Every structure is written in structure tokens, then in C-alpha cells.
């Protein structure tokens, strides 16, 4: 096993190993019965099952969207297994000591030793392994502050009123094809509740990982920040290297009440497939925040993985003076395709939004920025600034930009700046003349290009993101 | 240390160097002068390995090894440094981070331990002082928004930090006022230690008032047409390149 691991680790996709853990996995297929079984496995109350079934019926009436600038063979939703859980989870662990050591080793391989994180970083980690949340560390300290941070499956039992009230309130069941699918079959994810006036005492973190073959991961995250509260949430994603495509369709909902702030950072490194485009994760994600008066949401994402990325973290700026930010680095190489961006919906007065998007394309990849800035009729004095930069490495890749701007209020101001550049021969020559090898040179130039986004990331994430870019760029030149 | 023997080279099928010979020993300062289009900058690029130049004939030996066979970064590791005529910007990469990577890449190749952030900062501060750049320049992006003079001084700062054995200065004096010229010259002079060699490419004699060369070579039409000591530069300044004859006058006007 360890030899295998070493071998897998020495390959280019560092997280591409498979863990040898006994799992309980449903046979592929999707119908009402599967949804009932998922619900039963989780011992869910009747209302939750009802909700899922309604979502399933919505989904059946919907068509898979085709407007994105990505191309892939039709997904056979019947060929996917919708539930997989490590067997040892059957009796749930109460603390780290009770967690299957093999599972913990998996996390260590990913660079997130839970013990270490617990002790050194002071980060609370909710690790989601396939469909079940393994363990939530640091719960006690958070409880003291009144913060709830637990698997959403647990929240359904423990805090049914909150879940009932907010689940689907930002991303409705029928919002889009993949959100409807997620609503029907979601298996786990995180639930966060920050009470009024509380500043969360630590950064919250979730690591997602897909282990089983042919399983989809449909995690569902719901974060509620009550009046005047603050929270910073980190999310990291990896998956083993497999020849088959795996589906990941997540939904993240953020509810940001008056004067509250949520900072949501993602480093996404799902397996991107090999050079010829075989395998890799299909990543279809719906992320949205609703901001009330004076509230602020900041989405920061570093997207380097997945064969296909379809993702638009958005802000509905409903309350007056609310602020939405989107900072994104999306890197594609090989045969990767990314269609990503944001939607800033300005409804309230004096709402403000900032969009900084950095797209880097290498190899034969295609990288698309798609963004909507909407100024509603009542958005007096609203402002948006968008900066959208693309960097091309080599001459076989593509960068595309589709900005949509709608303004229904004459006092609103929308600015859009865009640039496209190439890593120039002059820059490469300068770096090499100063002794840097070409790969180091490219990674340095690209890191510089992304600086405005990286500085928005929490410290430890910024370091990781820089390293990730370096690994991702290996072999992208020449 | 550097031996150029009958070097022929072309860009886009046009022959620029037509049989150039040069022999540089440790500690020597050689000035290369000549009219525009004589191939001065081309020489710097070929020695440092820039792509797009084709060597059709001749050899270049650097510390006894075949220079033309080495990759760009290998030449840098062996101690070759080029101060650019037009230094390019690398937005978002701080001068400090860039130079630290660079210094440590070269140290690694020499089998030395990498400098820690503190050790490096100390050296960088000293180097900044020598070329009269404020410490802010360490934090700013490489050449990002620098004035012409600041870029040139930044190149000399890098040269000081990298401690090369052969420094090629490609028109490091162009576009500089007299104060900046002196700063650049002082920076170079401070690095003359009897072992380090310099090739100073320049169009005017002005810089050579401050950096005294051991040899001056006049490059015209792809060849060294005249060599001499420092006084040759003064002659050129007085008489121009007219003595080179008709052939070259045409090229100059082209």
C-alpha cells in the first residue's frame, strides 16, 4: 500500500492517491427510491425527505444547461452512485482518537494533519470524506463562543428550525439544473451559525475529498452570520486520480444579516484529468450569498483543478450599503476547461462590488470569465468595479471573457477593465539570465500576475495557493 | 576567461556578426564601442544566450567551457551577467523576491547554502545604498513604474548582489543624466576586484570617463576593426566613427 502511495504521490497530481478504506456505496442509479434511501441512511426527518423529493421532481423537469463555454460528453446521471461512506463511520466517532487511522493518514497525505491543525494552526476543520463528515475538530471552543460548526446532516437533527428556515433560501431548489440535483441528493457538507455580534474565534475550514470510484459528491454548505457577526471560512478540495470522470455538484448558501461579514476562500484542486483529457472532475457548483444592510461578503477562489469548472460565486446585495467582493484566480492547463466568474446583483442603495478576476491558460486549455453586474432600479448610487485579466502561456490555449452589464438606475456606476497578456519572451529571458530555470520563471511571473488575489487569501492559504500554482505549471512550457 | 574566436551570427537570416574575435582575461575591463547597427547589443545577447540568434561559425569559450552549448540560466550560474539596455517589467513580483530567488538559484549551483531572508535583506540593503536606490525599490514590482535611470541603477544593484565573474553592460549609460551616470559608474568600479571582468557596451565615450577601460574595441560591420587602450575612446569622441570608411557610413544611415 505505502509503495503504491509513494508511486501515486510522485506523479504530477499530488493528491491523486486512493485510500484503501472499506466503504458502503450505493449501486449507480437515481430515482425516488435512491433519495429515500439516502434520507433513511441519514435518519432524516420527514420534512427533509419531502424537500429532497420536491427538488428531485424539479430536476426531472429541467434541462442540463448548455450555455457555458465548455464541451463534454453528456453525463449519464444513472451511472453515478449517489452515496458512499467509509464503513467505519457507521458508528460515528466522537473525537479524533476514534477515527479510522487510515482515514487520518489520507488527510495527512493531503497536508492537513488534523492533530497538527488542531494544535498549531487553531483552525477548526470539518473534513468531508466522500459523503460523510468525518470529524469536526475544535467544536468545544467554538461552542463556547456560541458558534455552531457541524456537518449539515447533524444540523438537520439538532437545529431543524434553522435549517428549515434557511436551506434553499439563497439558492432555491429549482434555481438551476445542478442545484436541483444537489438539493435532491446532497449527502453532507458544513453548517455554520454565528450568533449576533460574535466574531468567530478561529478560521473555519473544510476539506472535501472524493475517494470512491463513480461517486458523485454533492455537498451542501449553509452559513448563517447573524447581525454584526464575522466569520472566515476556508474550503479545500482534492480527489484521487481516476480515468473516469467524477461529478461534483455542490451548493453553498451564505446568509449575511445586517452588519455581518463572511469571507469565503476556496482552493480547488480536484483532479483535472490527464494530458489527453481523460478522467477528471466535472465541477458544477452554485455558490451564492445574500447580503442585508451594511453586510459584506468576500469570495476568494483559487481554481487550479477539475476537467470542467462551472462556477459563479455570487452576491445578492439586497440591503443598503452592502458590499460584495470576488477575487479569483483560475488556472487551466492540459485539456481543462473553466467557465467561471461571478454575479453581483445590486438591489439596495449605495451597494458596492469589486470583481478581480485573473485567468491563466496554458497547454490546450480554455479559460472563460463570465460575469454579470446588475444594477437594479432602486440601487441609487451603487458602484461596481471589475478588473478582468487574462494571461496566456503558449499558443494553443484560449482565454475568453463574457461580461454582462445591466443597469436600470442612472446613478449607478459600473467600471470594467480588461487586459489580455502573454508571458513575454523578454520576461522569460530576464528571469533566466538571472539564473532561474524556465519553470521557476513562469511560476514567478504567474504568481506576480495573481498577486492582487493572493493578498486577499488568509496567510496559510496564500502560501498553499502559490505552491499549488507552481505544481500546476510544471511542464506547461516548452 | 572569455575567448571569442571568429564568431559569425545572424538574426532572421541577416548576418550581424561577421568573424568577431575577443580575448578577455580575469580582471580586465573591455569597452566595445561602435556606431548604431554595428552589432554591439547582438554580441551581448549571443553571449547570454537569448533566443532568435543563430551562430553559424566560430566558438566562444567561457572559463574553459563551450559557452554556446549552455542554456541561458546555466551561463548565469557560471557567472555571466547581462545588464539590460531596456529592462523589462515583471508586474506583481517584488524586486526583493525576484532577487532572492535569483541569488539562491545561483548559490545552489555553486554548492553554497541558500541565504535566509534576513541575510539576503542585509545584502540587498547594502546594494541599494551603493546605487542610491531607496529601500522602497525592494518592495516594488521588478522595474514596475521605474524611470529609465532607476531601471539602470536597478540592473547594477542586481549585478552587485549576484557577484558574477563576467559583467556585460549593454548601454547602461544611455538615457542617464550626469548624476545617474556617476552612480552607475561608481557601482561598477566598486565591483572591480582584479578578478571580475567587464564588457562595457556603449555608444559614447562619456561613461568611460568614469569607468576606465583596459582596452577599447571599435566594432563595425560585425567585426572588431580597431583595438587600443583608453585613448582610442577619446579619439572616437573627437573624430566620430567617420574614419571607419564609406561602407559603414551607409549602414549607419540605413
Residue B251 is given by DSSP the state H
Nearest to B93 among A425, A426, A445 (CB): A445
Q: Tens of pLDDT along B125-180?
A: 999 999 999 999 999 999 999 999 999 999 999 999 999 999 999 999 888 888 88
B71, B92, B106, B146: best to mutate for the A interface, most A CBs within 10 A: B92
Better-predicted residue by pLDDT, A269 or A96: A269
What's the whole-number mean pLDDT along residues B27-48? 92
d(CA A124, CA A289): 22
Using CA atoms, how far residue A478 sits from A359, A475, B77, in Å, is 20, 7, 21
Q: Tens of pLDDT along A101-138?
A: 665 665 565 555 555 445 434 455 566 655 555 455 56
**Structure confidence at residue B6 (pLDDT):** 96
Hey, what's the cell of A279? 478522467
Q: Which residue, A163, A230, A228, is CA-closest to A191?
A: A163
**How many domains would you assign to chain B?**
1
The bridge status of strand A366-375 relative to strand A337-346 is parallel
For residue A429, give the H/E element and its range: helix A425-433
Task: Tell me, yes or no, if A427 comes closer than 8 A to chain B by beta carbon.
Answer: yes
Task: Tell me, yes or no, if B204 comes closer than 8 A to chain A by beta carbon.
Answer: no
Chain A hits for B170, CB-CB cut-off 8 Å, are none
Task: Tell me, yes or no, if B90 comes closer than 8 A to chain A by beta carbon.
Answer: yes
Per DSSP, the residues of A407-427 read E--TT-EEEEEEEEEE--HHH
SS3 for A80? coil
Hey, what's the cell of A49? 425527505
Task: Tell me, yes or no, if A449 comes closer than 8 A to chain B by beta carbon.
Answer: yes
Q: Tens of pLDDT along B73-98?
A: 999 999 999 999 999 999 999 999 99
- From A359's Cα to the closest Cα of chain B, the distance in A is 15
Chain B hits for A452, CB-CB cut-off 8 Å, are 92
> Do the chains contact at A448 and B162, CB–CB below 8 Å?
no
> Do the chains contact at A435 and B76, CB–CB below 8 Å?
yes
> Do the chains contact at B92 and A451, CB–CB below 8 Å?
yes
Using CA atoms, how far residue A71 sits from A68, A214, A279, A335, in Å, is 8, 20, 14, 11
Note down the domain range covering B143. Answer: 2-253
**Structure confidence at residue B234 (pLDDT):** 86
Burial of B229 (0-12, 13-18, 19+ CB in 10 A): exposed
Chain A hits for B101, CB-CB cut-off 8 Å, are 436, 440, 444
Q: Tens of pLDDT along A28-82?
A: 888 888 899 889 988 999 999 999 999 999 999 998 888 888 888 888 888 887 8
**Structure confidence at residue A5 (pLDDT):** 30
Q: What is the pTM of this model?
A: 0.81
**Structure confidence at residue A468 (pLDDT):** 73
SS3 for A44? coil
CATH number, domain with residue B116 = 3.40.50.300
Residue B207 in contact with residue B200, Cβ under 8 Å? Answer: yes
> Do the chains contact at A435 and B73, CB–CB below 8 Å?
yes
- Residue of chain B nearest A448, judged by CA positions: B92
> Do the chains contact at A434 and B162, CB–CB below 8 Å?
yes
Q: Which residue, A472, A430, A429, is CA-closest to A450?
A: A472
**Structure confidence at residue A272 (pLDDT):** 80
Chain A hits for B162, CB-CB cut-off 8 Å, are 434-435
Q: With 50 as the cut, is the pLDDT of residue B248 above it?
A: no
What is the number of residues in chain A? 478
Radius of gyration of chain A from Cα atoms? 21
Task: Tell me, yes or no, if A431 comes closer than 8 A to chain B by beta carbon.
Answer: yes
Return residues 359-388 of A near B (CB < 8 Å): none
- Contacts with B61 (C-beta within 8 Å, 6 or more apart), sequence order: B2, B3, B5, B67
Residue A150 in contact with residue A126, Cβ under 8 Å? Answer: yes
Residue A301 in contact with residue A265, Cβ under 8 Å? Answer: yes
> Do the chains contact at B73 and A437, CB–CB below 8 Å?
yes
> Do the chains contact at B76 and A433, CB–CB below 8 Å?
yes
d(CA A245, CA A306): 10
Task: Tell me, yes or no, if B111 comes closer than 8 A to chain A by beta carbon.
Answer: no
B44, B86, B102, B167: best to mutate for the A interface, most A CBs within 10 A: B102
**pLDDT band per the 50, 70, 90 thresholds, residue A95:** low
Task: Tell me, yes or no, if A354 comes closer than 8 A to chain B by beta carbon.
Answer: no
Chain B hits for A451, CB-CB cut-off 8 Å, are 92-93
- From A360's Cα to the closest Cα of chain B, the distance in A is 15
B71, B93, B156: best to mutate for the A interface, most A CBs within 10 A: B93
Other Cβ atoms closer than 10 A to A272: 32
Q: Tens of pLDDT along A317-365?
A: 999 999 999 999 998 888 889 999 999 999 999 999 999 999 999 888 8
Residue A170 is given by DSSP the state S
For residue B167, give the H/E element and its range: strand B166-170
Q: With 90 as the cut, is the pLDDT of residue A279 above it?
A: no
- Contacts with A15 (C-beta within 8 Å, 6 or more apart), sequence order: A109, A110, A209, A238, A239, A240, A269, A271
**Structure confidence at residue A10 (pLDDT):** 34
Task: Tell me, yes or no, if A174 comes closer than 8 A to chain B by beta carbon.
Answer: no
Amino acid at each position: 500500500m505505502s509503495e503504491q502511495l509513494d508511486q501515486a504521490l510522485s506523479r504530477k497530481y499530488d493528491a491523486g492517491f486512493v485510500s484503501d478504506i472499506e466503504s458502503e456505496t450505493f449501486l449507480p442509479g437515481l430515482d425516488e427510491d435512491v433519495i429515500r434511501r439516502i434520507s433513511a441512511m441519514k435518519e432524516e426527518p420527514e420534512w427533509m425527505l419531502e424537500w429532497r423529493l420536491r427538488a428531485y421532481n424539479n430536476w426531472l423537469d429541467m434541462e442540463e444547461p448548455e450555455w457555458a463555454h465548455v464541451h463534454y460528453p453528456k453525463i449519464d446521471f444513472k451511472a453515478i452512485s449517489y452515496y458512499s461512506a467509509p464503513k467505519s463511520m457507521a458508528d460515528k466517532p466522537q473525537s479524533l482518537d476514534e477515527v479510522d487511522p487510515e482515514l487520518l493518514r489520507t488527510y495527512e497525505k493531503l497536508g492537513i494533519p488534523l492533530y497538527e491543525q488542531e494544535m498549531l494552526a487553531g483552525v477548526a476543520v470539518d473534513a468531508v470524506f466522500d459523503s460523510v463528515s468525518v470529524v469536526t475538530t475544535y467544536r468545544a471552543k467554538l461552542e463556547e463562543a456560541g458558534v455552531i460548526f457541524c456537518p449539515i446532516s447533524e444540523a438537520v437533527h439538532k437545529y431543524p428550525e434553522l435549517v428549515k428556515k434557511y436551506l434553499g433560501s439563497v439558492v432555491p431548489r429549482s434555481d438551476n439544473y445542478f442545484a436541483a440535483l444537489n438539493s435532491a441528493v446532497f449527502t453532507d457538507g458544513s453548517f455554520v451559525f454565528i450568533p449576533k455580534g460574535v466574531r468567530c474565534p478561529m478560521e473555519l475550514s473544510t476539506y472535501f475529498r472524493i475517494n470512491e470510484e463513480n461517486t458523485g459528491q454533492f455537498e451542501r454548505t449553509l452559513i448563517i452570520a447573524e447581525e454584526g457577526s464575522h466569520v472566515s471560512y476556508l474550503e479545500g478540495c482534492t480527489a484521487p486520480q481516476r480515468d473516469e470522470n467524477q461529478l461534483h455538484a455542490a451548493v453553498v448558501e451564505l446568509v449575511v444579516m445586517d452588519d455581518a461579514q463572511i469571507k469565503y476562500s476556496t482552493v480547488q484542486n480536484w483532479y483535472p484529468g490527464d494530458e489527453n483529457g481523460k478522467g477528471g472532475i466535472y465541477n458544477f457548483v452554485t455558490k451564492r450569498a445574500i447580503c442585508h444592510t451594511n453586510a459584506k461578503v468576500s469570495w476568494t477562489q483559487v481554481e487550479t483543478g477539475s476537467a470542467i469548472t462551472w462556477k459563479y460565486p455570487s452576491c445578492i446585495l439586497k440591503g443598503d450599503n452592502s458590499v460584495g467582493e470576488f477575487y479569483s484566480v483560475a488556472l487551466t492547463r492540459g485539456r481543462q476547461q473553466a467557465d467561471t466568474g461571478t454575479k453581483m446583483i445590486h438591489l439596495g442603495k449605495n451597494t458596492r462590488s469589486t470583481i478581480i478576476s485573473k485567468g491563466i491558460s496554458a497547454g490546450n486549455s480554455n479559460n472563460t470569465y463570465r460575469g454579470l453586474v446588475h444594477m437594479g432600479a432602486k440601487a441609487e448610487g451603487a458602484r461596481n468595479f471589475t478588473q478582468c485579466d487574462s494571461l496566456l502561456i503558449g499558443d494553443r490555449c484560449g482565454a475568453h471573457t463574457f461580461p454582462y452589464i445591466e443597469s436600470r438606475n442612472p446613478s449607478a456606476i459600473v467600471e470594467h477593465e480588461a487586459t489580455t497578456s502573454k508571458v513575454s519572451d523578454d520576461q522569460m529571458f530576464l528571469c533566466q539570465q538571472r539564473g532561474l530555470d524556465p519553470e521557476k520563471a513562469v511560476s514567478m511571473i504567474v504568481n506576480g500576475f495573481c498577486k492582487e488575489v493572493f493578498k486577499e487569501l488568509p496567510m496559510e492559504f496564500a502560501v498553499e495557493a502559490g505552491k499549488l500554482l507552481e505544481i500546476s505549471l510544471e511542464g506547461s512550457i516548452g | 576567461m572569455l575567448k571569442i574566436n571568429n564568431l559569425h551570427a545572424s538574426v532572421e537570416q541577416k548576418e550581424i556578426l561577421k568573424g568577431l574575435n575577443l580575448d578577455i582575461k580575469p580582471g580586465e575591463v573591455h569597452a566595445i564601442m561602435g556606431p548604431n547597427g554595428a552589432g554591439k547589443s547582438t554580441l551581448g545577447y549571443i553571449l547570454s544566450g537569448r533566443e532568435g540568434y543563430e551562430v553559424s561559425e566560430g566558438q566562444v569559450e567561457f572559463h574553459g567551457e563551450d559557452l554556446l552549448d549552455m542554456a541561458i540560466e546555466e551561463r548565469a550560474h557560471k557567472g555571466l551577467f547581462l545588464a539590460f539596455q531596456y529592462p523589462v517589467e515583471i508586474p506583481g513580483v517584488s524586486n526583493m523576491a525576484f532577487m532572492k530567488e535569483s541569488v539562491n538559484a545561483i548559490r545552489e549551483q555553486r554548492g553554497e547554502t541558500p541565504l535566509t531572508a534576513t541575510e539576503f535583506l542585509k545584502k540587498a540593503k547594502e546594494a541599494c545604498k551603493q546605487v542610491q536606490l531607496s529601500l522602497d525599490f525592494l518592495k516594488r514590482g521588478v522595474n514596475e513604474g521605474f524611470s529609465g535611470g532607476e531601471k539602470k541603477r536597478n540592473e547594477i544593484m542586481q549585478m552587485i548582489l549576484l557577484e558574477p565573474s563576467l559583467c556585460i553592460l549593454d548601454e547602461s549609460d544611455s538615457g542617464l543624466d550626469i548624476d545617474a551616470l556617476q552612480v552607475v559608474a561608481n557601482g561598477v568600479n566598486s565591483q572591480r576586484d582584479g578578478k571580475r571582468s567587464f564588457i562595457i557596451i556603449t555608444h559614447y565615450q562619456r561613461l568611460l570617463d568614469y569607468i576606465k577601460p583596459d582596452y577599447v574595441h571599435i566594432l563595425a560591420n560585425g567585426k572588431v576593426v580597431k583595438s587600443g587602450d583608453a585613448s582610442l575612446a577619446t579619439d572616437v569622441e573627437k573624430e566620430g566613427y567617420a574614419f571607419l570608411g564609406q561602407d559603414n557610413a551607409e549602414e549607419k544611415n540605413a
